[in-house]
Structure 1
Amino acid sequence: MTRTTPVQLTGILTALITPFTDDGSSIDAARLKAHIDRQFDAGIHGLVPGGSTGEFTTLTTEERKQLVELTVKYTAGRGPIIAGVGSTKSSEAIELAVHAAQAGADAVMVVPPFYDPVNYEQLQELLSEIHQASKLPILYYNIPAASGLTLSPEQIAGLSNVGVKWFKDTSGNAPDFTELVFHYGNQIKAMNGWDTLTFYGIAAGNEAVIWGAANFIPELAVELWNALAVKNDLRRGREIWASIWPITKFLESQSYSAAVKTGVELRGLKTGGLRKPFALLKEEHRVELHKLLLNAQVKIN
């Protein structure tokens, strides 16, 4: 499947969870479909499968391909799909990117190789090879804590020369993020990916944000977007953010994927938990998240 017009990424893009069967042995297609339907019913604008929130490091190469295929199928044109294809090996990242293009994804998200960090020249070469092989635009996943690679704003902007159109910022570095938004915005488009900075990212003019919490508070996420980005209603945006903020702060104090999947379960959808050795939140933290959702007037099933 080949896109004939450039994709535009706007709005709330959910960093999608990967639902498993109860024994964790495989992706649960029915649960994934139910989750995706709920996302779009709530007004979410697009999906990002196969990222950190989607536990990509616990998936086999074939499962990562299956996840993209199912996400494209169940989305059924309701929004853009940005497929996570990051890997410690260039060959696998390229293979996944080519497959994503064939499956109908609109773009690919690339996290740098982790454990052993690459240098800037190696990163440029990798991104160029992915772009040339897949012909898809790239969203660079800036997450220094995981990749071990810290780039300057100028270096991130320079990635636009090798097929990178956007970057997801999960650095938590607000000054550098601000520099990229306001000084390099003509070269590369910024998307916030750090939960507690979501309000700032939207208010600063991000055309889209990538948000794991939207898996279980999609309604609030869309309300915040509409207030700040669509209606320019700062007062209403502050009110909504006041209810979301404690939730985002909680997520960043826990194992993120575990907290997000626990939130999805609290909203009434089974996730199959996380793949071992990881697990859903312990009961005391589950109760805490439950209270935060009730305080935000989120419906618990």
Structure 2
Amino acid sequence: MKIKNLIAATYAPMHQDGSVNTNVIPEYHKFLVRNKISGVFMNGSTGDFASLSTDERKEITKAWSQNKSSDLYLIDHVGDPSLKVAMELAAHAADKVDAIAVLAPFYFRLNNIEKLVQYCKEVAACAPNLPFYYYHIPVLSGANLNMLDFLKVASKEIPNLEGIKFTNNNLIDFLHCKPLENGRFNLLFGFDEIFLSSLPLGADGWVGSTYNHMAPLYLKIKDLFESGKMAEAAELQRKAIRFVEILDGHGGFNGVGKGFMKTLGIDCGPSRFPHTTLGDDTYKDIRKQLDAIGLLEHLSD
């Protein structure tokens, strides 16, 4: 089944002492469904996976699986610099979620397609009945490889290869991948700031952190594009970019974005180092800035 529409890259909820707080997940689930989110991408970059222990990542996977429903597709990112750990996480997820994903090892970085396919093949084999996605985010993984070449090789080696979470602004590569094998692969576009640019290229599934905060805005952009109202769609995309810039300007988007969820009714708690955790007063100031550009009406609720 091809996943379509908005998929939220979810945060890892935490108690004030910094421990994982899975008690938030049932309400988080309801919040996402209420805002017409179609899926969850857990334990990814937004979810601070690199700052979590293996056991904590398993705990988050288990909690989302216990809140599994037909209206929210669950993708678990199981990638890790250690192939052994990635395989362990994949096996743990095999009976709990709808799909798994991995990014490339990011310390000893991969520099060719063959090594990337080998890594992906071994992890995918640990959950052979689940669709497998490669998480392409070269700005963080350092694996700045051509995805068309990857798909051509990987499709012959990985039986459960479903597609790519394509978090890169190389739209040429994306466009080449889209029609491969008659559109066999599910390409989930993962660059929120150029959501609008993905639409004429045929994107129909998206994974991003800001879909937590502004799902109504992105759905409106899509509606405007489909109605031919490009200027209005571009103006909303500009507001989405300003949202990222404003939050990023207060100490870094990942941590500040996590804290902003509390203003929407979902308290995800503090961020893990090195991300920033802000106080409530700062978020009041942020909301004033967002109000000044007419963004509050487009936030999730």
| Class of the TM-score when normalised by the shorter of the 2 chains | 0.7 to 0.9
Cα RMSD of the aligned pairs, angstroms, is 2.6
1:197 to 182, 189, 194: 194
Residue 119 of structure 2 is matched in structure 1 by: 126
- For residue 262 of structure 1, report the CA deviation from its aligned partner: 3.2
Alignment of 1:109-188 (within 5 A): 109-119=101-111, 120-135=113-128, 136-158=130-152, 159-161=154-156, 162=158, 163-182=160-179, 186-188=183-185
Contact preservation (8 Å) 2:94, 2:126: no
Residue 24 of structure 1 is matched in structure 2 by: 18
Contact preservation (8 Å) 1:250, 1:289: no
Question: Partners in 2 of 1:156 and 1:174 — Cα distance?
Answer: 16
Question: Partners in 1 of 2:144 and 2:104 — Cα distance?
Answer: 10
Question: Partners in 2 of 1:281 and 1:185 — Cα distance?
Answer: 48
- For residue 152 of structure 1, report the CA deviation from its aligned partner: 1.6
Amino acid at match of 1:210: V
Alignment of 1:267-278 (within 5 A): 267-278=264-275
Question: Partners in 2 of 1:82 and 1:177 — Cα distance?
Answer: 21
Residue 292 of structure 1 is matched in structure 2 by: 290
Question: Partners in 2 of 1:225 and 1:86 — Cα distance?
Answer: 31
Alignment of 1:1-301 (within 5 A): 7-25=1-19, 27-103=20-96, 105-119=97-111, 120-135=113-128, 136-158=130-152, 159-161=154-156, 162=158, 163-182=160-179, 186-225=183-222, 228=225, 232-235=226-229, 239-240=232-233, 242-251=235-244, 254=248, 255-280=252-277, 287-288=285-286, 290-292=288-290, 295-296=294-295, 297-298=297-298
Question: Partners in 1 of 2:213 and 2:272 — Cα distance?
Answer: 19
- For residue 113 of structure 1, report the CA deviation from its aligned partner: 0.5
Question: Partners in 1 of 2:59 and 2:300 — Cα distance?
Answer: 30
Stretch of structure 1 that moved more, 53-62 or 263-272? 263-272
Contact preservation (8 Å) 2:188, 2:205: yes
Amino acid at match of 1:145: V
Question: Partners in 2 of 1:10 and 1:250 — Cα distance?
Answer: 24
Question: Partners in 2 of 1:300 and 1:82 — Cα distance?
Answer: 21
The runs of 5 or more residues in structure 1 that have no matched partner are 1-6
Question: Partners in 1 of 2:86 and 2:245 — Cα distance?
Answer: 28
SS at match of 1:81: strand
User: What are the superposed Cα offsets for residues 1-36 of structure 1, whole Å, 9 maximum, x if unpaired?
Assistant: xxxxxx3211111111111111112x2122222222
Contact preservation (8 Å) 1:220, 1:240: no
SS at match of 1:74: coil
SS at match of 1:96: helix
- For residue 244 of structure 1, report the CA deviation from its aligned partner: 4.2
The runs of 5 or more residues in structure 2 that have no matched partner are none
- For residue 56 of structure 1, report the CA deviation from its aligned partner: 0.6
What is the identity percentage for the equivalent residue pairs of Structure 1 and Structure 2?
23
User: What are the superposed Cα offsets for residues 191-229 of structure 1, whole Å, 9 maximum, x if unpaired?
Assistant: 21111111122332223110210111123233444555x
- Relative to the length of structure 2, the TM-score reads 0.85
Change in 2 beyond 3 A, CA 1:131/1:240: same
Amino acid at match of 1:115: Y
Contact preservation (8 Å) 1:157, 1:184: no
Question: Partners in 1 of 2:109 and 2:299 — Cα distance?
Answer: 42
Contact preservation (8 Å) 1:12, 1:225: no
